[in-house]
Amino acid sequence: MTKPVLAIGASNSLRESVEVQVNGYANNVTGAVIANSGHWIYEEHPAELTQRLLTFLA
């Protein structure tokens, strides 16, 4: 069974490299990049991050 994985990067930090790296060891990867964000996504964009997590977990 393949487990879903959410890989989130920040536009001013790791960007798409998070998804690229996770694709190296997971098969069912959903990638996202949070715009106008740095390393602390959950502090800079809590509402957007929460919505993406809830959508992924639904």
- The domain total for the chain is 1
State which residues form the domain around 24.
4-57
pLDDT at position 2:
84
Question: pTM for the whole thing?
Answer: 0.84
Structural tokens at position 54: 């809830």
11-50 pLDDT per residue, tens = 999 999 999 999 999 999 999 999 999 989 999 999 999 9
1 band by pLDDT with thresholds 50, 70 and 90: low
Q: Determine what percent of the chain falls in helix, strand and coil, rounding each to the nearest 5.
A: 40, 25, 40
pLDDT at 56 over 90: yes
